[in-house]
Amino acid sequence: MGADSDEDDFVAYGTPIEREEDTSARKRRAIAEAGQLRALPAWKQEVRDEEGRRRFHGAFTGGFSAGFYNTVGSKEGVKLLMKMGWRQGRSIKDSHADSLYESRRNARKAFLALSGIKNDEDQDKIDSDKPSLDQSVTGSSEEMHASGSIPAYVLHPKQDLHGLGYDPFKHAPEFRDRKRFVKSRDRDHNRNDISARGNLLISNWHYAPGFGIGALEELDVEDEDIYASGFAYELTEVDIEPSKTSDGNYKLDDRKRGIFLSFKIASNSEYKLERYSRNALPLVMPGVGPQSLDTEAVSLGLPITGGVRAYGAPHKLSANVVFCRFPPPDVPADFDGRHKFATPTQPAEKFSDLAPPEVPPPEDSTVRLLIEGCAAMVARGGKHIEDFYKEKSKTNPQFHFLSGGDGCSYYTRKLWENQFRYTGQPRPDAVKSKPSSDKLTAENRGKILGERPLDRSTKPHISLSAKEAVQLQSNLIDTFVKPISLDALPESEKPFSNDPAKQARFEQFLKDKYQGGLRTATATPVSTMSEADRARERLDFEAAAEAIEKGKEKVIKPSSMLSLPGMNEQRFVSATQLESSIVPHDEKPIYPRREPFEWRPAPILCKRFDIVDPFMGKGTKDEEESSSRSMHHGSGAGLMEAEAHGMTNDTDIEPSSVQRPVDLYKSGSANGKELEERSKGQTADSPSSEEELILGEQRTAVDGEFTT
Amino acid sequence: MSSSGAAAAAAAQHLPRKEARELAGHEGAVLAVRFNRDGNYCLSCGKDRTLRLWNPHTGALVKTYKSHAREVRDVHSSSDNAKLVSCGADRQIFYWDVSTGRVIRKFRGHNSEVNSVKFNEYNAVVVSAGYDRTVRAFDCRSQSSDPIQTIDTFQDSVMSVILTKTEIIAGSVDGTVRTFDIRMGRETVDNLGHPVNCISLSNDSNCLLANCLDSTVRLLDKTTGELLQEYKGHACKVTSISYHPTKACMLTSSVDGSVRVWN
A115-124, A309-318, B93-102: lowest mean pLDDT where? A309-318
- Which alpha helices (H) appear in A335-472, and where do they start and end? 347-353, 365-381, 383-392, 408-421, 442-449
- The pLDDT, as a whole number, for residue A367 is 77
Kindly report, residue by residue over A19-35, the tens digit of the pLDDT. Answer: 666 566 767 676 676 66
Say if CB B205 and CB A605 are below 8 A apart: no
Length, in residues, of chain B: 263
What ipTM describes this predicted complex?
A: 0.83
A170-179, A393-402, B70-79, B188-197: lowest mean pLDDT where? A393-402
How far is the C-alpha of B60 from the C-alpha of B42, rounded, in Å? 11
Kindly report, residue by residue over A156-179, the tens digit of the pLDDT. Answer: 777 888 888 888 887 777 777 777
How far is the C-alpha of A128 from the C-alpha of A106, rounded, in Å? 16
Residue from A477, A524, A572, A599 whose CB has the most chain B CBs within 10 Å, to mutate: A599
Q: Considering CB atoms only, which of A599, A608, A648 is closest to B180?
A: A599
Would you place residue A596 in the very low, low, confident or very high pLDDT band (cuts 50, 70, 90)?
A: confident
Kindly report, residue by residue over A187-203, the tens digit of the pLDDT. Answer: 655 444 444 443 444 44
B227 CA: distance to closest CA in chain A (Å): 7
How far is the C-alpha of A270 from the C-alpha of A198, rounded, in Å? 10
Give strand ranges (E) for A263-346: 281-285, 309-313, 320-324
Say if CB A501 and CB A470 are below 8 A apart: yes
- The pLDDT, as a whole number, for residue B202 is 85
A81: Cβ contacts below 8 Å, ≥ 6 apart = none
Judge whether B180 is closer than 8 Å to chain A, CB to CB.
yes
Burial of B121 (0-12, 13-18, 19+ CB in 10 A): middle
A213-217, A416-420, A447-451, A551-555: lowest mean pLDDT where? A551-555
- The pLDDT, as a whole number, for residue A139 is 43
Residues of B in contact with A601 (CB under 8 A): 149, 180, 182, 185
How far is the C-alpha of A442 from the C-alpha of A435, rounded, in Å? 13
Judge whether B155 is closer than 8 Å to chain A, CB to CB.
no
Residues of B in contact with A651 (CB under 8 A): 139, 141-142
Paired with B167 in beta bridges are B181
Judge whether B101 is closer than 8 Å to chain A, CB to CB.
no
Greater confidence, A427 or A44?
A44
Amino acid at the residue A147: S
Give strand ranges (E) for A127-217: none
Average pLDDT, chain A: 59
How far is the C-alpha of A70 from the C-alpha of A55, rounded, in Å? 19
Greater confidence, A686 or B183?
B183
Say if CB B85 and CB B76 are below 8 A apart: yes
Secondary-structure percent of chain A, ordered helix, strand, coil, rounded to 5: 45, 5, 50
Distances (CA, A) of B189 to A77, A464, B169: 83, 12, 10
Cis, bond preceding A356 (omega within 30 deg of 0): no
- The pLDDT, as a whole number, for residue A362 is 66
Greater confidence, A340 or A288?
A340
How far is the C-alpha of A227 from the C-alpha of A204, rounded, in Å? 14
Q: Considering CB atoms only, which of B125, B184, B190 is closest to A608?
A: B125
- The pLDDT, as a whole number, for residue A573 is 44
Query: Is the per-residue pLDDT at A327 higher than 80?
Result: yes
Taking alpha carbons only, the member of B116, B60, B131 closest to residue B86 is B116
How far is the C-alpha of B31 from the C-alpha of B12, rounded, in Å? 14
Would you place residue B137 in the very low, low, confident or very high pLDDT band (cuts 50, 70, 90)?
A: very high
Is A609 in Cβ contact with B190 (below 8 Å)? no
Greater confidence, B253 or A63?
B253
Judge whether B143 is closer than 8 Å to chain A, CB to CB.
no
Greater confidence, A568 or B62?
B62
How far is the C-alpha of B136 from the C-alpha of B128, rounded, in Å? 5
Residues of A in contact with B125 (CB under 8 A): 605, 608-609
Residues of B in contact with A596 (CB under 8 A): 186-189
How far is the C-alpha of B202 from the C-alpha of B249, rounded, in Å? 9
Average pLDDT over residues A335-345: 74
Q: Considering CB atoms only, which of A469, A575, A598 is closest to B226?
A: A575
Average pLDDT over residues A378-393: 76
Residue B143's closest chain A neighbor by CA?
A: A651
A510: Cβ contacts below 8 Å, ≥ 6 apart = A541, A545, A548, A564, A567
Kindly report, residue by residue over A633-651, the tens digit of the pLDDT. Answer: 544 444 444 444 444 444 4
A611 CA: distance to closest CA in chain B (Å): 6
How far is the C-alpha of B32 from the C-alpha of B52, rounded, in Å? 11
Paired with A321 in beta bridges are A284
Three-state SS annotation for B105-173? EEECCCCCCEEEEEECCCCCEEEEEECCCCEEEEECCCCCCCEEEEECCCCCCEEEEEECCCEEEEEEC
Distances (CA, A) of A602 to A325, B133, B138, B143: 77, 19, 11, 17
Taking alpha carbons only, the member of A357, A345, A365, A373 closest to residue A430 is A345
Would you place residue A497 in the very low, low, confident or very high pLDDT band (cuts 50, 70, 90)?
A: low
Is the pTM higher than 0.80? The answer reads no
Taking alpha carbons only, the member of A623, A615, A607 closest to residue A666 is A623
- The pLDDT, as a whole number, for residue B162 is 92
How far is the C-alpha of A104 from the C-alpha of A281, rounded, in Å? 46
A632: Cβ contacts below 8 Å, ≥ 6 apart = A616, A617, A657, A660, A661
**Maximum mean pLDDT: which of A295-309, A359-373, A488-502, B143-157:** B143-157
Is A574 in Cβ contact with B193 (below 8 Å)? no
Is B153 in Cβ contact with A604 (below 8 Å)? no
Query: Is the per-residue pLDDT at A544 higher than 50?
Result: yes
Residues of B in contact with A570 (CB under 8 A): none
Q: Which helix (H) or strand (E) holds A595?
A: strand A593-598
Would you place residue A150 in the very low, low, confident or very high pLDDT band (cuts 50, 70, 90)?
A: low
Paired with A671 in beta bridges are none
Residues of B in contact with A614 (CB under 8 A): 182-185
The separation between CA A279 and the C-alpha centre of its own chain, rounded to angstroms, equals: 36
B257 CA: distance to closest CA in chain A (Å): 29
- The pLDDT, as a whole number, for residue A267 is 45
Greater confidence, A184 or A699?
A184
- The pLDDT, as a whole number, for residue A68 is 60
Judge whether B182 is closer than 8 Å to chain A, CB to CB.
yes
Residues A341, A345, A346, A349, Cα dihedral to 10°: 150
A156: which DSSP letter? S
- The pLDDT, as a whole number, for residue A205 is 60
Say if CB B262 and CB B233 are below 8 A apart: yes
Judge whether B69 is closer than 8 Å to chain A, CB to CB.
no
Taking alpha carbons only, the member of B74, B224, B48 closest to residue A595 is B224
Residue A520's closest chain B neighbor by CA?
A: B189
B137 CA: distance to closest CA in chain A (Å): 8
Say if CB B240 and CB B221 are below 8 A apart: no
Query: Is the per-residue pLDDT at A684 higher than 80?
Result: no
Residue from A470, A608, A611, A658 whose CB has the most chain B CBs within 10 Å, to mutate: A608
Is A592 in Cβ contact with B190 (below 8 Å)? yes
Kindly report, residue by residue over A63-110, the tens digit of the pLDDT. Answer: 655 666 566 666 776 776 777 665 555 555 555 555 666 677 777 777
A671: Cβ contacts below 8 Å, ≥ 6 apart = A660, A663, A664, A701, A704
Burial of A30 (0-12, 13-18, 19+ CB in 10 A): middle
Cα–Cα–Cα angle for A536, A540, A544, nearest 5°? 170
Coil/strand/helix, residue A124: helix
Would you place residue B129 in the very low, low, confident or very high pLDDT band (cuts 50, 70, 90)?
A: very high
Is B139 in Cβ contact with A609 (below 8 Å)? no
- The pLDDT, as a whole number, for residue A170 is 79
Kindly report, residue by residue over B148-201, the tens digit of the pLDDT. Answer: 999 989 999 999 999 998 899 999 999 999 999 988 888 999 888 888 888 988
- The pLDDT, as a whole number, for residue A652 is 43
Say if CB B88 and CB B103 are below 8 A apart: no
Residues of B in contact with A647 (CB under 8 A): none
The separation between CA B179 and the C-alpha centre of its own chain, rounded to angstroms, equals: 16
Helix axes A500-514, A531-552, angle to 10 degrees: 70
Residues of B in contact with A472 (CB under 8 A): 184
Is A479 in Cβ contact with B185 (below 8 Å)? no
Query: Is the per-residue pLDDT at B117 higher than 90?
Result: yes
A13: Cβ contacts below 8 Å, ≥ 6 apart = none
> Around Cβ A387, how many Cβ atoms within 10 Å?
14
Helices then strands, counting H and E runs in chain A, come out as 21, 5
Residue A479's closest chain B neighbor by CA?
A: B224
Q: Which helix (H) or strand (E) holds B227?
A: strand B227-232
Say if CB A432 and CB A477 are below 8 A apart: no
Residues of A in contact with B153 (CB under 8 A): 597, 599
Average pLDDT over residues A48-53: 70
Greater confidence, A667 or B173?
B173
**Maximum mean pLDDT: which of A13-17, A220-224, B108-112:** B108-112
Say if CB A567 and CB A489 are below 8 A apart: yes
Cα–Cα–Cα angle for A521, A524, A526, nearest 5°? 140
Kindly report, residue by residue over A348-365, the tens digit of the pLDDT. Answer: 444 445 556 666 666 677
Residues of B in contact with A471 (CB under 8 A): 184
Q: Which helix (H) or strand (E) holds A194?
A: helix A192-197
**Maximum mean pLDDT: which of A589-593, B23-27, B99-103, B232-236:** B99-103
